[in-house]
């Protein structure tokens, strides 16, 4: 059996996909830093700004700043420096920005004086299937494109990728357990897929090779979010005991 090393801290990253900070903060107040990490994406960051991220960090949460930077290398480097100064645990860029951009981003986060955040690259969005890739000029399957961009990210010194759980195992097998596989599109079995096309349950995602699970609606729309997180961790703990 392949030796698996569990990531330090919770595998679960709760996506704060809210339009305004009041609702996001209300949920954060019901959660616990030891139970999950938090993801702040474009919509919430645009509405609430950097101060909201700092508030979450000050409350003890590891924050994944999911802004998917994709621009010329210097612009991305400066954005990564600004993000790192917020004290975030993780941030991401688009692998399609190319090698020069990825290298500039890595150098920027390494140059900071505080805690160095994990830097990961977006490969193929979980909302995209092969037909969507073909429409934008990429004549490859989602898996082939994820593997190609994953190799570019690894060669550029990044810490991992955002990918579907369907590709996480191949990423782990090719690039190693230490190369992070952060997987959106995670739903409980009874929940609808929503706008994601390549989804999976938490246990199946970890079995498939995910290192971290980005979970949104299954937690954020629950009557008791902590109870849902406890259930997820219980299922993942049971899986670890079997391996």
C-alpha separations of 233 from 49, 110, 135, 229 in Å: 31, 32, 39, 6
* 59 Cβ neighbours under 8 A, 6+ residues apart: 28, 33
Write out the two tokens for 153. 């990210």
Place of tokens 């990564």: 80
Q: What is the DSSP letter of 124?
A: S
For residue 243, count CB atoms less than 10 angstroms from its CB and return exposed for 0-12, middle for 13-18, buried for 19 or more: exposed
The residues annotated as belonging to the active site are: 68
Q: Whole-angstrom Cα distance, residue 186 to residue 165?
A: 8
């Amino acid at each position: 059996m392949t030796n698996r090393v569990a990531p330090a801290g919770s595998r679960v990253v709760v996506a704060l996909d809210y339009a305004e900070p009041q609702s996001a903060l209300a949920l954060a107040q019901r959660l616990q830093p030891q139970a999950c990490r938090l993801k702040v994406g474009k919509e919430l960051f645009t509405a609430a700004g950097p101060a909201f991220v700092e508030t979450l960090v000050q409350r003890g949460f590891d924050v994944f700043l999911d802004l998917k930077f994709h621009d010329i290398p210097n612009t991305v480097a400066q954005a990564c420096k600004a993000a790192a100064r917020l004290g975030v645990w993780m941030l991401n860029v688009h692998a399609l920005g190319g090698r020069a951009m990825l290298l500039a981003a890595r150098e920027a986060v390494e140059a900071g004086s505080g805690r160095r955040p994990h830097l990961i690259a977006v490969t193929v969005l979980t909302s995209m299937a092969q037909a969507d890739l073909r429409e934008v000029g990429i004549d490859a399957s989602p898996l082939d494109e994820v593997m190609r961009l994953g190799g570019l990210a690894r060669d550029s010194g990044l810490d991992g990728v955002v990918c579907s759980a369907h590709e996480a195992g191949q990423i782990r097998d090719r690039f190693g357990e230490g190369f992070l596989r952060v997987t959106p599109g995670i739903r409980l079995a009874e929940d609808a897929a929503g706008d994601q096309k390549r989804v999976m349950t938490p246990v199946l995602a970890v079995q498939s090779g995910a290192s971290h699970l980005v979970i949104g609606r299954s937690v954020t729309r629950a009557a008791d979010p902590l109870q849902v997180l406890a259930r997820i961790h219980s299922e993942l703990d049971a899986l670890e005991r079997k391996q």
